[in-house]
Structure 1
Amino acid sequence: MKTEVKALVVGGGAVGTSIAYHLARAGWQDVMLLERDELTSGSTWHAAGLLPYFNMSYATTHIHDYSIKFYKTLEEETGLNAGFFVVGNLRMAQTEARMDEYRLYAATAETCDVPFEWMTPDQIKARWPLIRTDDLKGAIFHPTDGYINPADVTMAMAKGARQRGVLIERRWQVDGYAWAGDHWDVTVTKMVEKGGNLVPSDETQVIRAEHVVTATGNHSQRTARLLGIKMPAIPVEHQYIVTEPDPALVEWRKTNDQHPVIRDADAKWYVREERGGWILGPYERNAPARFEYSVPDSFRADLFPLDLERIEEEYMSMIHRLPSSETVGLKDDFNGPICYTPDGNPLIGPAPGLRNMWLAEGFSFGITAAGGAGHYLAQMMVEGEAEIDMASLDPKRFAQDWMTTEYAARKNEEAYEHVFILHHPDEERPACRPLRTAPNYLKQKAMGAQFGCVNGWERPNYYGSKDAPESFDHDARSFRRGGWWQHAVDEAKAIREGVGLIDATAFAKHAVTGPGSAEFLSGFTCNKLPNVGRINLTYALTEKGTVRTEYTIVRRGERDFYLVSAGAWAAYDGDFLRKAAEDFMAAGGAHVSVQDITTQWGVFAIAGPKSRAVLNALVKDADPATVLSNKRFPWLSMRNIELGMVPVMALRVAYTGELGWELHHPIEMSSHLWDRLMEAGEAHGLRLVGARAQNWLRLEKSYRAFGHELGRDATPLEAGLDRFVDCTRPYAGKPAMLETGIRSKCCTLLIDGPADCDPWGREALYAEDGTRVGRLTSGGYSVAFGRSIGMGYVRPGLAKPGTRLKVRMMDALWDAEVTEDSPYDPKNETIRVDG
């Protein structure tokens, strides 16, 4: 065994072998893969091998697309047949709501060049007469995917990796990771067979590895403990059954190719052909999480007992959909662990708090994702970034400071159950909630707040009826304008015309202080640093010059900076900030302290033409009438003020684009300040406002949002943020940003869409001649213009105001027009109004 390598991949399933293969293909020479048992002995061996394209995530869709195309090339390269049967995938719908889900999904698929066809019930019946179609509304069909033999594709990737110089060692278990400053010392133990179990021997080695990738599947909790981190990858039982041959299918196959994989999403199952019979895979309720802490030594390529009662409903619905299966007996059954995460998407990327440690864990659709995961993770490791924005799959989207094993297990069970539950774009899942609540949660709930969950925080999405407050209003959801839509309209109008109050406590907040803080931040971000008492919006860049993260920087003193970023990205932003500060000091910079102070500060945003009047009623000052004037408190400045008995760090900013302030205050005084604001606002018609209205208002101002317009696949110049980019000084990522140029351009569009639907930010954009020219990244409704509104990226020449385009919504093309940036109040006169 080699004891010094450039990259060590831990885990010999489909994901691990793909990563090893792609690292070698990307040019890394010394790559080694370790497997504690045999290749494929984890979840890979009992996977059903389906390759579904369907996924609402832009990044995951690209990953699946790459896998499906890549697997088709393996036999030519390696001589091994990967067992890929391109039979197609028919996803059926029993309701119009399900068809709407497919129409929205198709928007994402279209932007990724994923082929699909729409089918009516009659067309389904004509092509596949074994399917009962009288209660269907239609289907979406992917002709280029199907299913694959998991063991065969894994062995083909392993052979391809060996051909490229990868060393694969079996029966070695990792027992320790130690960071040595520039490499990892990985302690491994030889595993031997004893009484049918694998047990450690006395033979150990220490492997020196510059980079380590973990792809340990069901063993992810053990991996997390060895690394000293938290990882919400925990397996859930997944069972499927194999039937005896179905005579009707056998007869049909005499004159036809293989039957496509069929999915009855409303019945919560998939079915595929298997040697003249059927494989039924349900996603039922109450499937339990397993191995919450570790996998028993006795559990190898093993299974759990089948629980037929738990899947009885799904089994009967298969008989309903495939009537010929009613008299067919059961041939085999499988019930094995499949790893999940709370949102059902894998963890791919750098481990939190660690250097050169990469995670590839939590793959609930591991065979589908393995090829693409290896490809894009190898790009991140070798080139510094992937060609697509992988932030939505970053392991740090789940924070280290509050997430527990219990939380992960229960949320993973929910994710499993939700595989076939309607994926509304305004979906809010109820498990493990409420958990993190701001001080005024119960007051807001009593006022009709309908909450969303951001980084574990409960955050009002909108305010519904006070008479029937309910935290999780499922009935309000829709793929079109849901029951919440009119509430959001009224809230947005309140801010444009009067005054609204938003609880923004979930914002991420970091304090950066110390002798080196100014020099560090100057080289860390692309905008000039603000003067003391002032505020700047700025961006930290990747090695490729794209947007790594966004911060609002408040300068409280010469060496005292307060950084605010999106609440959903708190751990992601904080980890990057701390590592950058460590690098700065390691290179000789003066000391910098980075502290996450998110839970120390509550935040209220008050905005609207009457917001100054509300605050004036609370200001305590020798001359209270002038405290909030432009002279004493100009736009983009910070002042420490007193509102009643509460000391407030007030920021003259407003994400809504209206006159307003953010009121950052000691969180223990949050309840008191809330009550005083509500009392003062009563005379001015103050209205409580949620995140959905706020999102619409920021679109009217063309304010870019991280995870939407801003990400690791576009530079700030491509995002149209030139005014926040200082090209007069050096900083990280600047050369690459300038060298990249403008590949596409962000713009705002006003859209004449259907009367009952607004864009969600996933839709394809077309030129008037029918050529696809871009995609939306955000969407909603504009109360200022009475039309749908969106932001997105198009070819550079098409981003000019007045350009006429088309946007695909609900499988139809609708007129759209590129407008000037900040179509509402483009000169920022309203936000700067004096008083």
Structure 2
Amino acid sequence: MKTHVKALVVGGGAVGTSIAYHLARAGWDTMLLERDELTSGSTWHAAGLLPYFNMSFATTHIHDYSIKFYKTLEAETGLNPGFSVVGNLRMAQTRARMDEYRLYATTAETCGVPYEWLSPAQLKERWPLMRCDDLIGAIYHPTDGYINPADVTQAMAKGARQLGAVIERKWQVDAYDWTGSEWRVTVTKMAEKGGNLVPTEEQTVITAEHVVTATGNHAQRTARLLGLKIPAIPVEHQYIVTEPDPALVAWRKAGNPEHPVLRDADAKWYVREERGGWILGPYERNAPARFAYGCPDSFRADLFPLDLERIEEEYMSMIHRLPSSETVGLKDDFNGPICYTPDGNPLLGPAPGLRNMWLAEGFSFGITAAGGSGHYLAQLMTEGEAEIDMGSLDPKRYGSWMTTDYAVAKNEEAYEHVYILHHPDEERPAARPLRTAPCYDRMKALGAQFGQVQGWERPNYFAPEGFDDHAARSFRRGGWWQYAEAEAKAIRETAGLIDATAFAKHIVRGPGATAFLDWFTCNKLPKIGRVNLTYALSSAGTVRTEYTIVRQAEDVYYLVSAGAWHAYDEDFLLKAAEDKAAEFGPVIVEDVTTRYGVFALAGPNARAILAGLIRDADPATALSNKRFPWLSARQIELGMVPVNALRVAYTGELGWELHHPIEMQNHLFDRLMEAGAAQGLKPVGARAQNWLRQEKSYRAFGTELGRDATPLEAGLDRFVDLSKDFHGKAAMEATGLRSKCVTLLIDGPEDADPWGREALYDGETRVGRLTSGGWSVAFGKSIGMGYVRPDLAVPGTRLSVRMFDALWAVEVVEDSPHDPTNARIRADG
């Protein structure tokens, strides 16, 4: 057995073998360890479906790669992975479901995924065994289907061996120790004893430069060994196999093709053919999480008892859709653990706080995602970045506040929501409210309808008493739209107050702080008392993090970044500071996120509101441009509250961010609302803010900004100081301009706005995609931001955007179409 490798993969399911294969293909000396037999975890009882359907741009690419890759394995390895390319049919019983499919289809288009639309009549003509009279229509993917999970895993394992990887079975990892340059992994030989798998006395240590954990149901054990929180906990998933259906047998004997994988999302199930019968897989309510604190050592290729009562509703709906199945008996059943995460997406990427440790955990659709996950994770490991932005799957999207109870509640919810309508404005209720700013109750009393970001409750909009946020959701303009529009108008015409407490906030200080931040970010550092917007780049020269930096002293900086990316940003910052300490000197990074609350006050009347509260020797000039210019920061007093005030406004109006001691938040909130009553002040939520920032062409991290575009491609040239050296500069310059970020005004449908995932066309040619979308109160039409070919990023260029089932006219406009000279932001008083 080898005792030193470049990369050690722990876990021999579909995901682990794919990672081993792709690392070996990249030329890395790779070993895979499996504590039992390959496929002995959830892989063996997976149904093997390969659905394309996913609202995530990154995940769609991962699924697309898998489906294409699996079709090449037999030629490479000689092993047939059992891929039945029968297609995938998603039926819709409602207009809302068809709207969901149409929105998804725009994501499919941007990734080059083929699909077809079918009417109920066409469905009945193709597959007469189905009842179609209560359907609205369907979307059909002709190029996917289902695969044999064990066969595809063995094929990838053979491919990995052919590429030089070593695969060792019956070895369990018992300890991980980082030496500062490599991992020492203590492993124990396992043996069969009375049907159980037990450790022997044989142990050895493997050293590896990199370790990847793909431990599936054993993720909680992995978490304990690494000292991490990993919110990957299994949930029971049942499926049943029927006896042969005589009508189906006759259909196939007549020479007809196999049915596609059928999905009636409104009924919450999938069905496919299996040896003349049917497999029914429901996603029912009340499926329990299992093994919250670790999978028992005795649990191997085992199953749980079937709970037919729990899936009775779904079973009856299958009979409704396939009437011939009513008299068919049950042949087999499966109820096994499938790992989930709170949002249903895998945890794929570098582990928080650790070096050269990579997680590939929490795969609820592991067979579909295995091939692509191995490919893109191998790129991330061997090249520094993947060709797609993997941020949305990063394990650090959950912070240290996350607990086991939280993961259990959210994972059970994620399972139940597999076939729930995925509105772009959806907010799932489990484990909420959890993290609340002190003013939560006050905002709720004012009608706040909350969203959740990093566990924080954050107002999306404010509505009258009795308003039902769930009923207000839509793929078009939901019932909340009118309230968000009123809030956006208030900021443009009078004033609005936004709770921004969820911002991530760090103080960076010490003798090396200035030199470090100058290297770490691409813009000039601000002078003392001033504010700069800047970016930290990835090693590929793309945007890794966006920061607002306030320089408080010569070597003291206050960094503000997106609340949704708190742990993600902090890990990157801490590791970079540690790496450069020997070169630049000591740097202290302090997380002060929960120390300070933040209110953003913006609008033409913002100065007048603060003027009634500020305590200053000369209050008449305290907020003037001379004493408090744009992009500056001052310590001020608003009544009894000391405030670190930043003269910035993400909405593009005159405004301030008011960073205050969080324990004084309610006092400050009350004083601001009192002072603003005569000035037309309205509480404002995140949705209106998102619309307003697009009118100013302000890029947002996670949409316009990410690890698949450089700051120059994002149109952030004015924030890049090419006269200095900074991390990622050479790679950024070498990349050139593959695409450009633009702002577009859209003549769209009367009842809908884009959501920011739609495909852009020049005639019949797809030329880009939207990354954000919404409504412009300044222009009275839809607005969006996105990326197009550089030659099309010229103001006045006419393109079109796919929204639902039609193309709509769009025009590329100058950046910051609202107030392009920033006169309103710089307004004096």
TM-score (norm. length: structure 1): 0.99
Q: Is the 8 A contact 1:38 1:170 kept in 2?
A: yes
> 1:419 — aligned with what?
418
Paired residue type of 1:795: R
Q: Is the 8 A contact 1:118 1:139 kept in 2?
A: yes
> 2:277 — aligned with what?
277
CA distance in 2, matches of 1:21, 1:292: 30
After superposition, give the CA deviation of every residue in 1:456-489 in whole Å (9 maximum; x if it has no partner): 0000000000x3266xx10110000000000000
CA distance in 1, matches of 2:399, 2:53: 27
> 1:623 — aligned with what?
618
After superposition, give the CA deviation of every residue in 1:546-576 in whole Å (9 maximum; x if it has no partner): 0011100010111110000000000000000
> 1:300 — aligned with what?
300
CA distance in 1, matches of 2:525, 2:275: 67
CA distance in 2, matches of 1:469, 1:147: 43
User: Secondary structure, in 3 states, of the residue corresponding to 1:148?
Assistant: coil
> 2:147 — aligned with what?
148
After superposition, give the CA deviation of every residue in 1:235-275 in whole Å (9 maximum; x if it has no partner): 00000000000000000011112111000000000000000
Give the CA RMSD over aligned residues: 0.6
1:27 shift after superposition: 1.6
> 2:599 — aligned with what?
604
CA distance in 2, matches of 1:182, 1:709: 36
Q: Is the 8 A contact 1:446 1:469 kept in 2?
A: no
Paired residue type of 2:288: P
1:74 matched to 2:73: yes
Paired residue type of 1:5: V
> 2:806 — aligned with what?
812
CA distance in 2, matches of 1:478, 1:765: 22
TM-score (norm. length: structure 2): 1.00
> 2:372 — aligned with what?
372
1:589 shift after superposition: 2.4
Paired residue type of 2:824: T
After superposition, give the CA deviation of every residue in 1:716-773 in whole Å (9 maximum; x if it has no partner): 0000000000000111100000010000000000000000000000000001x21110
1:208 shift after superposition: 0.4
Q: 1:775 aligns with which of 769, 783, 791?
A: 769
Q: Is the 8 A contact 1:805 1:816 kept in 2?
A: yes
CA distance in 1, matches of 2:475, 2:189: 53
1:588 shift after superposition: 3.1
> 2:537 — aligned with what?
541
Greater shift in the superposed pair: 190-199 or 793-802: 190-199
1:87 matched to 2:82: no
> 2:735 — aligned with what?
740
> 1:478 — aligned with what?
474
> 1:100 — aligned with what?
99
1:155-194 matches, within 5 Å, as 155-194=154-193
> 1:669 — aligned with what?
664
CA distance in 2, matches of 1:627, 1:305: 71
> 1:560 — aligned with what?
556
Please, which runs of 5 or more residues in structure 1 have no aligned partner? none
Q: Is the 8 A contact 1:616 1:625 kept in 2?
A: yes
CA distance in 1, matches of 2:571, 2:488: 34
CA distance in 1, matches of 2:322, 2:417: 23
> 2:265 — aligned with what?
265
CA distance in 2, matches of 1:27, 1:101: 42
Paired residue type of 2:597: G
1:214 shift after superposition: 0.2
CA distance in 2, matches of 1:94, 1:211: 48
C-alpha distance 508-417 of structure 1, shift in aligned 2 (>3 A): same
Paired residue type of 1:80: L
1:287 matched to 2:268: no
1:53 shift after superposition: 0.1
After superposition, give the CA deviation of every residue in 1:803-826 in whole Å (9 maximum; x if it has no partner): 000000012000000000000000
After superposition, give the CA deviation of every residue in 1:12-50 in whole Å (9 maximum; x if it has no partner): 00000000000011121x100000000000000000000
> 2:239 — aligned with what?
240
1:717 matched to 2:715: no
> 1:701 — aligned with what?
696
CA distance in 2, matches of 1:634, 1:589: 32
User: Secondary structure, in 3 states, of the residue corresponding to 2:79?
Assistant: coil
> 1:131 — aligned with what?
130
> 1:834 — aligned with what?
828
Q: 1:573 aligns with which of 569, 574, 579?
A: 569
> 2:466 — aligned with what?
468
> 1:340 — aligned with what?
340
1:498 matched to 2:494: yes
After superposition, give the CA deviation of every residue in 1:525-554 in whole Å (9 maximum; x if it has no partner): 000100000000001111110001110001
After superposition, give the CA deviation of every residue in 1:300-326 in whole Å (9 maximum; x if it has no partner): 000000000000000000000000000
Q: Is the 8 A contact 1:233 1:362 kept in 2?
A: yes
CA distance in 2, matches of 1:667, 1:215: 40
After superposition, give the CA deviation of every residue in 1:637-656 in whole Å (9 maximum; x if it has no partner): 00000000000000000000
> 2:792 — aligned with what?
798
CA distance in 2, matches of 1:538, 1:621: 31
After superposition, give the CA deviation of every residue in 1:118-144 in whole Å (9 maximum; x if it has no partner): 000000000000110000000000000
1:633-648 matches, within 5 Å, as 633-648=628-643
Q: 2:525 aligns with which of 516, 522, 529?
A: 529
CA distance in 1, matches of 2:166, 2:572: 32
Q: Is the 8 A contact 1:621 1:627 kept in 2?
A: yes
CA distance in 2, matches of 1:823, 1:182: 51
Aligned residues: 828
> 1:825 — aligned with what?
819
Paired residue type of 1:490: A
User: Secondary structure, in 3 states, of the residue corresponding to 2:201?
Assistant: strand
Paired residue type of 1:425: P
CA distance in 2, matches of 1:366, 1:723: 43
> 2:115 — aligned with what?
116
CA distance in 1, matches of 2:554, 2:325: 75
1:345-360 matches, within 5 Å, as 345-360=345-360
After superposition, give the CA deviation of every residue in 1:384-410 in whole Å (9 maximum; x if it has no partner): 00000000000000112x100000011
> 2:427 — aligned with what?
428
1:222 shift after superposition: 0.4
> 1:551 — aligned with what?
547
1:683 shift after superposition: 1.1
User: Secondary structure, in 3 states, of the residue corresponding to 2:620?
Assistant: helix
Q: Is the 8 A contact 1:447 1:469 kept in 2?
A: no
> 2:783 — aligned with what?
789
1:98 shift after superposition: 0.1
User: Secondary structure, in 3 states, of the residue corresponding to 2:773?
Assistant: strand
User: Secondary structure, in 3 states, of the residue corresponding to 2:733?
Assistant: helix
CA distance in 1, matches of 2:596, 2:409: 29
> 1:754 — aligned with what?
749
User: Secondary structure, in 3 states, of the residue corresponding to 1:363?
Assistant: coil
Paired residue type of 1:315: Y
Paired residue type of 1:468: G
Paired residue type of 1:174: V
CA distance in 1, matches of 2:478, 2:294: 43
Please, which runs of 5 or more residues in structure 2 have no aligned partner? none
Q: Is the 8 A contact 1:130 1:324 kept in 2?
A: yes
CA distance in 2, matches of 1:661, 1:382: 44
Paired residue type of 1:563: L
Q: Is the 8 A contact 1:779 1:790 kept in 2?
A: yes
After superposition, give the CA deviation of every residue in 1:145-164 in whole Å (9 maximum; x if it has no partner): 00000000000000000000
